[in-house]
Structure 1
Amino acid sequence: MNEMIENLLSHRSIRKFKSKKLNEQQIEMIISSAQHASTSSYMMAYSIIGVTDENKKAELAEITGQSYVKDNGHFLIFCADLNRVTVKANEEEYEAMLDNLENSEHFLVSAIDAALAAQNAAVAAESIGLGICYIGSVRNNIAKVDELLDLPKHVIPLFGMAIGYPAHHPEPKPRLPIDAVYFENSYKHHEEALDRFDDRIAKYYEKRSENNRTDTWTDQMKRRFQNTIRMEVTDHVQNKGFNKK
Structure 2
Amino acid sequence: MNTTIETILNHRSIRTFKEEALSEDTVHTLVEAARRASTSSYMMAYSIIGITDPKKKEQLHEVSGHPHVLTNGHLFIICADYHRMTYEAADEVKEEMKPNLENSEHLMTAAIDGALAAQNMAIAAESMGLGMCYLGSLRNDISKVDELLNLPEYVFPLFGIAVGVPAEDPEKKPRLPHAAVYFENEYRDHEREIRTFNENIRTYYASRSSNRRIDTWSDQMQRRFRTPIRMDVTDYLHRKGFNKR
TM-score by length of 2: 0.99
Q: Is 1:61 the equivalent of 2:54?
A: no
Shift of 1:188: 0.2
Match of 1:190 in 2: 190
Query: C-alpha deviations, 1:124-161, integer Å up to 9, x for none?
Result: 00000000000001000000000000000000001000
In 2, Cα distance between equivalents of 1:4 and 1:236: 38
Q: SS of 1:6's equivalent?
A: helix
Measured in 2, the distance between the counterparts of 1:204 and 1:7 equals 22
Secondary structure class of the residue paired with 1:72: coil
The separation in 2 between residues aligned to 1:169 and 1:63, in whole angstroms, is: 27
Q: Secondary structure at the match of 2:170?
A: coil
**Any idea what the Cα deviations from partners look like across 1:13-53, whole Å, max 9, x if unmatched?**
00000000000110000000000000000000000000000
Give the C-alpha shift of residue 2 in structure 1: 1.1
- In structure 1, the residue matched to 2:221 is 221
Aligned residues: 245
Q: 1:227 Cα shift?
A: 0.5
> 2:166 — aligned with what?
166
Separation of aligned partners in 2, 1:172 and 1:85: 41
Take 1:222 and 1:120, find their aligned partners in 2: how far apart are those partners?
A: 31
Q: How far apart, in 2, do the equivalents of 1:112 and 1:5 lie?
A: 22
Structure 1 match to 2:144:
144
Query: Deviation at 1:203?
Result: 0.7
Equivalence map 1:95-114=2 (5 Å): 95-114=95-114
For residues 56 and 26 of structure 2, the distance between their equivalents in structure 1, rounded to whole angstroms, comes to 22
Q: 1:179: which partner in 2?
A: 179
Moved over 6 A (4+): none
Check if 1:131 corresponds to 2:128: no
- Matched AA of 2:88: K
**What is residue 35 of structure 2 aligned with on the other side?**
35
SS of equivalent to 1:110 = helix
Partners of 1:213 and 1:31 in 2: how far apart? 38
Match of 1:86 in 2: 86
Could you tell me how far apart the structure 2 residues matched to 1:209 and 1:228 are? 31
Residue of structure 2 equivalent to 1:231: 231
Counterpart Cα distance in 1 of 2:45 and 2:210: 38
The CA deviation at 1:212 is: 1.2
Structure 2 runs not aligned, ≥5 long? none
The one-letter code of the counterpart of 1:109 is T
TM-score using structure 1 length: 0.99
For 1:153, give the aligned amino acid.
E
Residues of 2 paired with 1:41 and 1:175: CA distance?
Answer: 32
Alpha-carbon distance in structure 2 between the residues aligned to 1:109 and 1:87: 19
Q: d(CA) in 2 for partners of 1:26 and 1:108?
A: 30
Number of the residue aligned with 1:9: 9
1:106 counterpart SS class: helix
* Amino acid paired to 2:45: A
Give the Cα–Cα distance (whole angstroms) in 1 for the partners of residues 62 and 185 of structure 2: 46
Amino acid at match of 1:156: F
2:132 maps to a residue whose letter is I
SS of residue matched to 1:16: coil
Provide the aligned C-alpha RMSD in A: 0.5
Could you tell me which amino acid in structure 2 is paired with residue 194 of structure 1? I
Task: Quote the Cα distance in structure 1 between the aligned partners of 2:52 and 2:149.
Answer: 12
- How far off its partner does 1:211 sit? 1.1
